[in-house]
Amino acid sequence: MNFGEQIKKVRKDRNLTQQDMAEKLGISRQAVSNWENDKNLPDIEMLISMSRVFHLTLDELILGGTEMNNMTEKLIKDGSENARIKMNLLGIKIGGILLVLSFISLIAGILAPVNIEGYFGTAFTAMMFCGVLAFLIVGIKNMMDIFRKQAHKQQNGKLIATGGLLVLIGIVVYCLSLVTEKISCYLGFAGIALGIILIVVGTLTSQRGAEE
DSSP for 159-202 reads: HHHHHHHHHHHHHHHHHHHHH-TTS-HHHHHHHHHHHHHHHHHH
pTM recorded for the entire structure: 0.57
Cβ count within 10 A of residue 54: 18
> Per residue in 92-133, pLDDT tens?
999 999 999 999 988 888 887 777 878 888 888 899 999 999
Is-contact 105 127, C-beta < 8 A?
Answer: yes
Domain ranges of the chain: 3-67, 79-206
> Per residue in 38-86, pLDDT tens?
787 787 788 888 888 888 877 777 765 545 455 555 555 665 666 777 8
DSSP 68: -
CATH topology of domain 3-67: 434 Repressor (Amino-terminal Domain) (1.10.260)
Of the listed ranges 2-6, 63-67, 88-92, the one predicted with least confidence: 63-67
Half-sphere CA count of 142, side-chain side, radius 13 A:
34
Distance CA 185, CA 170 (A): 9
